[in-house]
Amino acid sequence: VRVGILGATGYTGQELVRLLRRHPDVDLTYLGSSSMMGHSYQEIYPNRVEENGILAAEAVPELDVLFCALPHGITASRGPELLGKVSHLIDLGADFRLRSVMDYESWYGIKHPEPELLLSAVYGLPELYREDIQGHRLVANPGCYPTATLLALTPLLRASLLEPDSIIIDAKSGVSGAGRGLSAGTHYAEVNENIKAYGVGEHRHTPEIEQELTRAAGRRVTVNFTPHLVPMTRGILVTIYADVTEGVEEQELRAEWWKAYKDEEFINLLPVGTWPQTKFAYGSNQVFLQMKLDPRTKRIIIVAVLDNLIKGAAGQAIQNMNILAGLPEGKGLGGGGLWP
Amino acid sequence: VRVGILGATGYTGQELVRLLRRHPDVDLTYLGSSSMMGHSYQEIYPNRVEENGILAAEAVPELDVLFCALPHGITASRGPELLGKVSHLIDLGADFRLRSVMDYESWYGIKHPEPELLLSAVYGLPELYREDIQGHRLVANPGCYPTATLLALTPLLRASLLEPDSIIIDAKSGVSGAGRGLSAGTHYAEVNENIKAYGVGEHRHTPEIEQELTRAAGRRVTVNFTPHLVPMTRGILVTIYADVTEGVEEQELRAEWWKAYKDEEFINLLPVGTWPQTKFAYGSNQVFLQMKLDPRTKRIIIVAVLDNLIKGAAGQAIQNMNILAGLPEGKGLGGGGLWP
Amino acid sequence: VRVGILGATGYTGQELVRLLRRHPDVDLTYLGSSSMMGHSYQEIYPNRVEENGILAAEAVPELDVLFCALPHGITASRGPELLGKVSHLIDLGADFRLRSVMDYESWYGIKHPEPELLLSAVYGLPELYREDIQGHRLVANPGCYPTATLLALTPLLRASLLEPDSIIIDAKSGVSGAGRGLSAGTHYAEVNENIKAYGVGEHRHTPEIEQELTRAAGRRVTVNFTPHLVPMTRGILVTIYADVTEGVEEQELRAEWWKAYKDEEFINLLPVGTWPQTKFAYGSNQVFLQMKLDPRTKRIIIVAVLDNLIKGAAGQAIQNMNILAGLPEGKGLGGGGLWP
Amino acid sequence: VRVGILGATGYTGQELVRLLRRHPDVDLTYLGSSSMMGHSYQEIYPNRVEENGILAAEAVPELDVLFCALPHGITASRGPELLGKVSHLIDLGADFRLRSVMDYESWYGIKHPEPELLLSAVYGLPELYREDIQGHRLVANPGCYPTATLLALTPLLRASLLEPDSIIIDAKSGVSGAGRGLSAGTHYAEVNENIKAYGVGEHRHTPEIEQELTRAAGRRVTVNFTPHLVPMTRGILVTIYADVTEGVEEQELRAEWWKAYKDEEFINLLPVGTWPQTKFAYGSNQVFLQMKLDPRTKRIIIVAVLDNLIKGAAGQAIQNMNILAGLPEGKGLGGGGLWP
């Protein structure tokens, strides 16, 4: 598979480089960067020893798959041009995740430059929409918080085991999710030994979560989603609360997870009583899930963890590439993460 | 005020030492420790330069106030003996927080050694029960999670602005809350760069929170309470979700906070849009609060932060001591924390 | 004492605010800021609850003591103007630390705007130069690395117990030393779980250390000084290596420390075998020292720790203020730091 | 290659499992554990998804290569038995690193149970002793600090460019080097936001470093070696100071490194001015080196970094296995680490 990356120097871009360079069926031939054109990759990342290439201008060559890891708005505006050059485009940004132009424009605060492309894109969450993804030219790679949330909830909503109006998602993320851009909010001395909520009621992953939960529930779902910044680099943990449908037992909920995920290479249902930790997924494409039905409040408490840069970004994008290229979906992504 | 500490070498004990040594009206004359009797304090804490004393056996002298910072069960069993020696006992453990013997025994898993003492104790949360505390000989100093939660919710429940059955408390704590005892769960290499939920549906602060919320609401309140361990040493942040009573606006909720806390030295209502961070309270007795009513779900989202070892333990205990001794309540506790 | 701060919103500035607000003899009446004029202090630091003031323009009123916490170059250029207004100026920057204009200009890369002021300034390290400081109008507050290094070495060099040419200083610092300015080098995701050397052979504290060691040794001293950035917020640890003068024993070295520091409130000579940790000094004005003479190489290994923002900056500046104002030197600075 | 691990549940053991499971030519058939016999591997490490095996008793089957990751003393005492069963034994502990029984017994404080085995072992640092390793049945895998130090210094000492008596090694390590055993020194709340020296003048890697430097220099070398514990999980950085031989220039030192390492897959000589950070090596088998000759003191300052659990333990052991098995030395170990 002839592959390229636009935005190869961001955190997601360099994670793609790392993973693609050890993928046995990939020929990574194009690294595009608007700001670092002409520089060698190792000038920017001396530690990325597997990559000897030079950063190229943004004129994209012909490719089987192009990964776009650019700020929102940019990929969309170049969409038609890029699709004229490459067979498949996997966007790791937010430009094609929402099907509603109105939602995009109200949550992202800009006009969508190519609204008609929204309809031709597929939401690339392989464990839920594997069949849809095949054959699409334009894949919207999900956000990190939505990936964790949707994997936890979709099978349960599809089976009508939860009250859709009761869903509360309290999420905790490492700081790498904020990218390489400098800000007071990612300044070491003000993040270390500190935890804070941010974007309360306003985070842009909210409409993405609601869109897909609505699809699963077959009715409009509105959620509370509160992300928190935790003093660590990688990892997302989401704690989800929901009322179960009258009379539903924990065992029924577990059974739906089992049906959905028992053959999945990257989804791990932990034994009862073992709660996920973000470090379980550190440096891997794995997701770990656990739940408990509180008998006193009849609410289910679910915890899901993943590595925001891998299953929450670059790893999932490569899963999508593998699907598009007809390769085994987990190719190049196997195994567990680093411990400790 | 003649003062002593039982359990002077734990994290809470040494924080009491630090704060009491700079309190202008306190004469700290007794440092008790079962395990380190006869050792100088600085042998254990070379950094506690303000304390030149020797650790004494557990035979308590006559004192105005004794602080007990011992594992649960121990203080209660010595209760009658200690109350024979000292004018006031402030227990920083859990032995006198619950009024129901049954609750104590089911959540703590041991028989309460002196159940009749439960009724003579007062729950020592000054901002809520200041008048009750005066004149009591036995004060149960609240837990760290309950302090944050109750300060956030009590005024709102007293005013019937929230649906009592809808309360969900998602809490995040630094590791010092687990104390000095060694365990895999506090081993550096397994806590750093990691976040996890623990005690899901089973944490012992649950009945304490419910008891006091029930008192505020005037009807039985059951909550979901999920604590998480965050890779930092100090600090607690609680994120609380609740449905507001039909028709209630954010302004009404804010007004109740304002009425309750406008003159409080340690409670800070942040300007709209400024969300608390645990570091705001680091090393201080301060609490910071913020809220937002989500217009889409009609749920209030509240965030409260404090330093678990100060307002969540030693600082609050000294507030209680000040009340008992007729001193200004904030004496020795003023000012903000360390930054950054 | 009527006191003001220029540069009141940097990390050092806000630490001055915290400490001065709890100093019983200080009237803090002026908070100057070039960038935030007209804003309330709590807008910038919602956690600095002890400070209700408004940030003023840079026109300084008449004061007994003005603290300058500004980038180098600025204080010097305003020197004559400021000294016309205030009785004493304590500069927490680098403008008056070096007596040699040539050294200043070669290490700092700018022309010194008021070179004649260099001669009227005193190097304000109280434990070494207490008598000199009294009566000076212009005090150069030492850098954080030099403070730790000079306190460790000066008594030993004065007594000719070390070979001056053999001194190697390997220093480790938390990130707050780099200030509030944003840079890739202080971006959380690239500092956390990482340690690196920086400024190898080029750090600006080198000439300051050499100047004062030269004074102590009575002959020219040149050192190797290598700072490292450690993933923590506060604290400096310096590890110093030096050959002892032929025949010198560890006991003689310890005796010099003892003579120099036995009555010092802020210098702690730890018992043999107890090595300092930066956390011993966290949030305090304390310094902790330890040494070991390696019998195999005849080299002394010294470790010194302090809190870079307090004894390494704001706390030491207040010591200097106390000296200038005829107050007890430790006033408002007593006690140990936070633990854990 | 049929492979097994004794001590498969320690940090080094589980890192071996992770790396060996993705090695294409390895059949990992035996996981031995004294304490967890009969348990499934995922009970202990739910995140080690690549390993479905059951922990076996310590009776070792016939194997091509056995890795021993046990506390010192144990491997040695079982040495003859184990060598009767397996073709090659790679010891990741300290039992076979020192050639001198006297050194072993004085630094490790126990009698060596099988002193004659010391002579049949080879010191397994591939980049320096590749040819020696081939054909040996017993390989002593180097310690983490020695690996970094020896790679930095050996080519320079072999070429007589440094004064052997002047070497000072100031090392900084993450906490995982201390293993899974619980201790106050690895308790999160006391390690976080803290740095300290430990084992000053007494660390057991000292004689190992000296033995190999002596071999390189052709004369007795004694060093100062001071390790520090840094608040991070993985990574070692060593800062080395040494006087250069009269008249030697930086370029000559760099030339020796270049000759020694230009074809090495795992040794990276960074461009002048780019200093290594431990995170460069995080999760990889890579080493990064930089140096600077201080023209003022004529001392060289060298910085080397590696991941203590990989190049400092499990990764290097697999390099040794590859050599013994006639495979390409870097098989299964390629590529750079995680960033950020």
A337–D279 C-beta distance less than 8 A = no
Question: Is the CB of A224 less than 8 angstroms away from the CB of B237?
Answer: no
Interface residues on C facing B, Cβ-Cβ cutoff 8 A? 11, 14-15, 18, 21-22, 45-51, 176, 192-193, 233-234, 268, 270-271, 274, 279-284, 286, 288, 334-340
Q: Which of A187, A230, A338, A339 to substitute to test the interface with C, most C CBs within 10 Å? A: A187
Compare all CA atoms of chain B with the CA of C13 and give the residue at the minimum distance: B339
- Give the global pTM: 0.98
Nearest Cβ partner of C184 from A178, A182, A183?
A182
Question: Can the peptide bond before residue D295 be classed as cis, meaning omega within 30 degrees of 0?
Answer: no
Rounded mean pLDDT, B185-195: 97
Task: Over range D175-188, report the average pLDDT.
Answer: 94
Statement: residue D35 has pLDDT above 90 = no
Chain C residues whose CB is inside 8 A of the D297 CB are 165, 222-224
Helix, strand or coil for residue B12? helix
Arithmetic mean of pLDDT over chain B: 97
Q: How far is A257 from chain B (nearest CA, A)?
A: 20
The answer to whether the complex's ipTM is over 0.85 is yes
Is residue C243 over pLDDT 90? yes
Count of C-beta atoms within a 10 Å radius of residue B87: 15
Q: Nearest-5° angle of CA B180, CA B184, CA B187? A: 65
Q: Which of C45, C193, C280 sits opposite B46 (nearest CB)?
A: C280
pLDDT at D179: 94
In B, minimum Cα distance to D191 occurs at B188
From first to last of the 340 residues of chain A, give the pLDDT tens digit: 999 999 999 999 999 999 999 999 999 999 999 889 999 999 999 999 999 999 998 789 999 999 999 999 999 999 999 999 999 999 999 999 999 999 999 999 999 999 999 999 999 999 999 999 998 999 999 999 999 999 999 999 999 999 999 999 999 999 999 999 999 999 999 999 999 999 999 999 999 999 999 999 999 999 999 999 999 999 999 999 999 999 999 999 999 999 999 999 999 999 999 999 999 999 999 999 999 999 999 999 999 999 999 999 999 999 999 999 999 999 999 999 999 9
pLDDT value for D34: 87
Chain D residues whose CB is inside 8 A of the B189 CB are 11, 174-176, 178, 180, 186, 233
pLDDT, tens digit (0-9, with 9 covering 90-100), for D67-88? 999 999 999 999 999 999 999 9
Contacts of B31 (CB under 8 A, 6+ apart): B4, B5, B8, B17, B41, B51, B53, B54, B55, B56
- Smallest Cα–Cα separation from B304: which of B148, B173, B177? B148
- Give the one of C175, C184, C193 whose C-beta lies nearest to A189's C-beta: C175
What pLDDT band is residue D57 in, cutting at 50, 70 and 90? confident
Do D299 and C168 make contact, defined as CB atoms within 8 angstroms?
Answer: yes
State the nearest Cα–Cα gap between D137 and chain A, in angstroms: 30
Do residues A37 and A59 touch, judged by C-beta distance below 8 A? no
The pLDDT score that the predictor gives to residue C34 is: 87
pLDDT at site A58: 78
Q: Which chains touch D (3 or more CB pairs under 8 A)?
A: A, B, C
Residue B58, pLDDT > 90, answer no
Residue of chain B minimizing CA distance to D229: B188
Both tokens assigned to D167: 């070497």
Distance from the Cα of C114 to chain B's closest Cα (Å) equals 33
Q: Mutating which of B48, B182, B188, B232 best tests the D interface, going by the most D Cβ atoms within 10 A?
A: B188
**Distance from C-alpha of D134 to C-alpha of D124, rounded to nearest angstrom:** 10
Q: Which of C277, C282, C287, C339 to probe the B interface (max B CBs under 10 A)?
A: C339
Kindly report the number of other CB atoms within 10 A of residue B72's CB atom: 18
Other CB atoms within 10 Å distance of the CB of residue C252:
15
Both tokens assigned to A18:
């790392």
- pLDDT above 70 coverage of chain B, percent: 100
Q: What is the mean pLDDT of residues B134-153?
A: 97
> So what's the pLDDT on residue C35?
86
Q: Tens of pLDDT along B208-246?
A: 999 999 999 999 999 999 999 999 999 999 999 999 999
**pLDDT tens-place string over residues D283-299:** 999 999 999 999 999 99
Dist. CA C113–CA D296, nearest whole Å = 28
Select which of A56, A144, A236, A314 is catalytic. Answer: A144
Contact B139, B120 (CB under 8 A): no
Flag whether pLDDT at B272 surpasses 90.
yes
Task: Report pLDDT digits (tens) over C85-94.
Answer: 999 999 999 9
Across chain D, mean pLDDT equals: 97
How close A250 gets to chain B, by Cα (Å)? 14
Task: Tell me how far CA of residue B6 lies from CA of B71, B75, C95, C299, D52, in angstroms.
Answer: 11, 9, 51, 45, 49
**Interface touch A186/C191, C-beta < 8 Å:** no
Task: Read off the pLDDT of residues C192-238 as tens digits, 9 standing for 90 and up.
Answer: 999 999 999 999 999 999 999 999 999 999 999 999 999 999 999 99
Question: Which chain D residues touch C222 with a CB distance below 8 Å?
Answer: 296-297
C-alpha separations of D224 from B138, B258, D192, D239 in Å: 57, 62, 27, 12
Test C232 with D231 for CB contact under 8 angstroms: yes
Q: Which of B66, B118, B140, B144 is catalytic?
A: B144
What letter would DSSP give residue D143?
A: P
- Closest in B192, B224, B278 to A195, CB measured: B278
Across the A/D interface, how many CB contacts are shorter than 8 Å? 92
Which of C280, C284, C340 has the CB atom closest to B11's CB atom?
A: C340
> What pLDDT is recorded for position B34?
87
pLDDT surpasses 90 at B82: yes
- As a residue count, chain B comes to 340
CA dist list (Å): C209 to B138, C99, C169, C239: 57, 12, 10, 14
Nearest beta carbon to residue D201 from set C170, C277, C301: C301
User: Is A173:A196 a contact under the CB 8 Å cutoff?
Assistant: no
Our CA-based measurement puts residue C159 at a distance from the nearest CA of chain A, in whole angstroms, of: 40
Residues of A in contact with D339 (CB under 8 A): 11, 14-15, 18, 45, 47-48
Chain C residues with CB inside 8 Å of A176's CB?
A: 189
- What is each CA distance from D229 to C237, C249, C250, D236, in whole angstroms? 11, 28, 25, 10
Active site residues of C: 144
Contact call for D46 and A270, based on CB within 8 A: yes
The nearest CA of chain C is from the CA of B165 a distance in Å of 33
| Residues of chain C positioned with their CB less than 8 A from the CB of B281 | 47
CB contact under 8 A, A336 and D193: no
Task: Note whether B192 contacts D175, CB cutoff 8 Å.
Answer: yes
* Chains contacting A (3 or more CB pairs within 8 Å): B, C, D
| A308/chain C closest Cα distance in angstroms | 13
CA-to-CA distance for A126 and A322, rounded, in angstroms? Answer: 10
DSSP letter, residue D176: G
**DSSP bridge partners of B2:** B27
Nearest CA in chain B to C274: B46
Confidence of residue D260 (pLDDT cuts 50, 70, 90): very high
